[in-house]
């Protein structure tokens, strides 16, 4: 009877969709890696390092739009894979996490970079430059995969509580603060946050950013954000498991 229950549970898990979403994310990671390899060949022929090379405002806009397009692609595959918002969110964070992890896997295979998991990287550009050791986005990605698998496993009866949503949002904000704190502190000597976001200041902001070298990662802030997420993930698992047992 227990074996039969396990077999039924296996059939209900969307393994076919998992395969195709995973394949999409890995392939997309390879495309992203290729773009970065080309950019590094042009701007960092001697190897990537800080400070960042100055690029024209036009290229900065193109790169920002490319990042938005990246998010839209991941949202699109999630929308195709799911019929409900909750499962769609699960597929989105799963695809994002697999894409992010394999991006670093492919960079290491082709360039031997990063040298270690503590190597600094530029993670995102919107609305400010995000930087951090490579291990930090990998940790976030592992948390995303864990949450996605829990949601997909218990998707039939799982109810996400309001405080779960609040915790996920607050945790994400705290993590983003950790990624942007060092850069914003550096830029704040010449610009307010509103001035950094003002398009008319693009040239001067890029010039200032060209001198930025990361000094310290706010690990304690980052770990608080990750801790909030893990507390939420643990309770989502507990809630999903309880609902599953109740509805058997």
Q: What is the pLDDT of residue 183?
A: 84
Query: In this predicted structure, what is the pLDDT of residue 174?
Result: 97
* Confidence at residue 62, expressed as pLDDT on a 0 to 100 scale: 84
- Spell out the domain ranges in the chain: 10-246
pLDDT by residue for the chain (248 residues), tens only, comes to 343 344 334 447 889 999 999 999 999 999 999 999 998 888 888 888 888 777 777 777 888 788 889 899 999 999 998 889 999 999 999 999 999 999 999 999 999 999 999 999 988 877 778 899 999 999 999 999 999 999 999 988 888 999 999 999 999 999 999 999 988 888 777 676 676 666 666 667 666 766 778 889 999 999 999 999 999 999 999 999 887 777 76
Q: Are 239 and 158 in contact (CB under 8 A)?
A: yes
Q: CB-based contacts of 123: which residues, under 8 Å, 6+ apart?
A: 130, 131, 132, 137, 179
Residue 115 DSSP symbol: S
Instruction: Give the tens place of pLDDT for each residue, 22-31.
Output: 999 999 999 9
Q: What is the per-residue pLDDT for 197?
A: 64
Q: What integer pLDDT is reported at residue 3 of this predicted model?
A: 35
pLDDT of residue 243: 79
Angstrom distances, CA of residue 38 to CA of 41, 52, 107: 5, 16, 12
Report pLDDT for 50: 82
pLDDT at 248: 65
Q: Are strands 120-124 and 130-133 parallel, antiparallel or unpaired?
A: antiparallel
Residues with Cβ within 8 Å of residue 30, at least 6 apart in sequence:
102, 106
């Amino acid at each position: 009877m227990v074996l039969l229950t396990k077999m039924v549970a296996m059939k209900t898990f969307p393994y076919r969709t998992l395969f195709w979403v995973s394949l999409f994310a890995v392939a997309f990671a390879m495309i992203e890696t290729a773009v970065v390899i080309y950019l590094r060949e042009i701007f960092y022929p001697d190897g990537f390092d800080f400070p960042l090379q100055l690029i024209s405002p036009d290229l900065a806009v193109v790169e920002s739009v490319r990042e938005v397009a990246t998010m839209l692609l991941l949202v699109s595959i999630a929308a195709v894979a799911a019929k409900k918002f909750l499962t769609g969110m699960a597929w989105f964070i799963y695809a994002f996490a697999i894409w992010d992890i394999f991006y670093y896997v492919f960079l290491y295979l082709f360039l031997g970079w990063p040298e270690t998991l503590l190597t600094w990287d530029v993670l995102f550009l919107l609305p400010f430059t995000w930087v951090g050791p490579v291990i930090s986005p990998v940790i976030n990605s592992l948390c995303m995969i864990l949450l996605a698998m829990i949601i997909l496993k218990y998707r039939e009866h799982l109810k996400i509580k309001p405080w779960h949503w609040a915790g996920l949002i607050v945790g994400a904000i705290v993590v983003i603060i950790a990624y942007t704190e060092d850069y914003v502190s550096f830029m704040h000597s010449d610009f307010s946050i509103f001035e950094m976001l003002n398009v008319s200041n693009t040239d001067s902001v890029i010039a200032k950013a060209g001198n930025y070298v990361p000094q310290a990662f706010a690990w304690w802030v980052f770990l608080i954000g990750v801790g909030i997420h893990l507390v939420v993930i643990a309770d989502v698992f507990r809630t999903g498991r309880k609902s599953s047992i109740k509805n058997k």
